[in-house]
Amino acid sequence: MAALDKVSGNYQGTTFPGGHVERDETFTESVIREVSEETGLVIEDPKLCGFSKKRTGTGDGCCSRTDS
């Protein structure tokens, strides 16, 4: 697990690397890219350990993903 100490922008405090899955990108590829972009770390073979729900602003209360 990597935590970032963000000190600028509209949120300041401890946060975790994150972002969006790009078109035609797998979830794993997205994790590797986002960690690299935000921390400079190069990771291999990340493992999914959990999930959280996030408000989308669409009124449905959360977004979800199903992996096959």
pLDDT of residue 45: 92
pLDDT of residue 66: 55
pLDDT of residue 27: 87
CA–CA separation, 25 and 30 (whole Å): 6
CA–CA separation, 34 and 41 (whole Å): 10
Instruction: Please list the residues that pair with 14 across neighbouring strands.
Output: 5
16-68 confidence digits (pLDDT tens): 777 888 999 998 999 899 989 988 999 999 888 877 776 666 555 455 555 55
pLDDT of residue 16: 78
